[in-house]
Amino acid sequence: MTTDPSAQDLRARALAALAEQTIELPSWAFGNAGTRFKVFSTPGVPRDPFEKISDAAQVHRHTGVAPRVSLHIPWDLVDDFGKLAEHATDEGVSIGAINSNLFQADEYKLGSLTHADPAVRAKAVAHHVQCIDVMRATGSTDLKIWLPDGTNYPGQDDITDRQERLAESLQQIYAELDPEHRLILEYKFYEPYFYTMDIPDWGTSLLHCLALGEQAKVVLDTGHHAPNTNIEFIVAQLLRVGRLGAFDFNSRFYGDDDLIVGAADPFQLFRIMNEIVRADALRPDSGVNFMLDQCHNIEPKIPGQIRSVMNVQEATAKALLVDREALRTAQRSGDVLGANGALMDAYNTDVRPLLAELRESQGLPADPYAAYARSGHQEQIATERVGGQQASWGA
C-alpha cells in the first residue's frame, strides 16, 4: 500500500465512489442464446421471468452492485407484473428499464415506427403504451427503445419520409410518459437492415431526443459502432449536453457480438469510464444508467454476468485512480507524454486488491466469481429446473 498522502486520498475517494456504483442486468442474459446457426441449451436455465429475476439476484448477492434487472416485452410478459415486482423485492432487487420489441412481428418487415402504413405505426406505438403500463406496475422509470427499422436497398423507401414518420411516432409515445419516466433511445449502425438504419448513430438519436424534450436521452450500446469508432468521444459529447441516458455494455470483435463487457477491449472500457469519472457521472443521481446488454451463448450465464459486473468495476476503479490534478497540469502545459502517462499509470494499476477490500468491508466475498462457483447454486438449479420450456433469446 502506498504511503503518499495524495495517493491515499485518491484511493479513499475511489473506494467511496465504487461503493455507490450500480450496474443493471438484462433478464435475457439468463436465458439461452446463440446465433442464427444454433441456440445451445444449458441445464438450469430459467423457464420464466420469475426464475430470470432469481438468477439476476444471485449476481447481486455475490457482487453487491447489481440491484436492478431490465425486462424485455413481450419476452418477459406475465399475467401480474405487481407479483413480479414483489418477487424482485423479495429477492433483494428491483425492476429496471423496460425494453420494447419491434423486431419479431411479421408486420414490421418494412418498418415499425417508420412504416409507411399508419396502421402498422399505430400498432408499434400501442406496444409502447403497453410497455409504459408495465413500467407503472413495476415501478420502472426507463422505457428503452431500440429501433430495428431500416432498408436493404437504395431507393427502397424515402429516407427523409421515414425520419418524419419516426419523429411523429416517437412524439406519440413520449406524450404517454409520466413525469418521472424517461424515454431512452438506442442507435445501431447496421443490422437487421444493411443499407440504411433509421437510427444508425448517436447524432440521429440525439436529434430525436432534442425534438422530444428533456425526458428523452440517448442509449449508447458499446457494440453498435463501426470498428475503431472512438466511443469515449461520443460519451464525452453526450455528457456535455446532458443527454447520455444509459449504456448497454457488452463487447465486440466484429459485429454486434454481445460478448462480455471488457472481454474484447478492456482499454476501451477504461477510456469510456475515464470520461464518466471526468464528468462526475458515476454519481447515482447523474442520470446515467449503467446497464449490461449481453448474451452468453457458450459460457454459463450467472458466472458470465458476475464476470461482466467485475470487469465494469475494474475499469471504473482504474478510472477513479487517474490522478486528475497531474493529468490537468500535464495537459495545460502541453506535456503530451506526461498526460498520456497519467492515464496509463492508472490503467496499469492492478485494482483487484482494492475491489477485494471494498467487498470485504461490505460483507461480500472478495472474489464473487469464485464464491458463486463454491456456492453450489449452479448445480442446484440444474437439478431443480427440469421440465418446462427454457427461456431463450426471442421467447
C-alpha to C-alpha distance for 187 and 209, rounded to whole angstroms: 12
Among 293, 339, 358, 368, binds Mn ion (CB under 5 A): 293
Q: Binding to ligand RM4 by residue 186, rule CB under 6 A? A: yes
The CA–CA distances, whole Å, from 338 to 59, 333, 352 equal: 39, 10, 25
Distance CA 304, CA 294 (A): 9
Query: Rule CB under 6 A: is residue 249 a binding residue for ligand RM4?
Result: no
| Residue 24 engages ligand RM4 in binding (rule: CB under 6 A) | no
Near Mn ion by CB under 5 A: residue from 24, 221, 256, 275: 221
The dihedral built from the CA positions of residue 163, 169, 174 and 175, taken in this order, carries a sign that is positive
Binding of ligand RM4 by 316 (CB under 6 A): no
Q: Is 293 in the site for ligand RM4 (CB under 6 A)?
A: yes
- What type of residue sits at position 160? T
Which of 21, 27, 54, 99 lies at the binding interface for ligand RM4 (CB under 6 A)? 99
Closest to 56 in 3D by CA, of 73, 71, 42, 43:
71
* By the rule CB under 5 A, 142 interacts with Mn ion: no
Asked if 198 touches ligand RM4 (CB under 6 A), the answer is no
76 binds ligand RM4 (CB under 6 A): no
Note whether 275 binds Mn ion by CB under 5 A.
no
Name the nearest CA neighbour of 303 among 374, 241, 201.
Answer: 374
What's the DSSP call for residue 260? Answer: P
Q: Please identify, using beta-carbon distances, which residue of 76 and 186 lies nearer to ligand RM4.
A: 186
Question: Of residues 133-172, which lie at the interface with ligand RM4 (CB under 6 A)?
Answer: 146
State the minimum distance, in angstroms, from the CB of residue 222 to Mn ion.
9
Identify which of residues 198 and 221 has a Cβ nearer to ligand RM4 in the complex: 221
Residue 327: all three cell numbers together: 493529468
Rounded Cα distance, 71 and 56, in Å = 11
Q: For ligand RM4, which residue has the nearest CB?
A: 146
Give CA–CA dist 392/395, Å, rounded.
Answer: 5
Residue with cell 454476468: 305
Nearer to Mn ion, 54 or 205 (CB): 205
Q: What single-letter DSSP state applies at residue 34?
A: B
CB of 139 to ligand RM4, least distance (A): 20
| Residues found near ligand RM4 in the complex (CB under 6 A) | 28, 72, 99, 146, 186, 221, 248, 256, 293
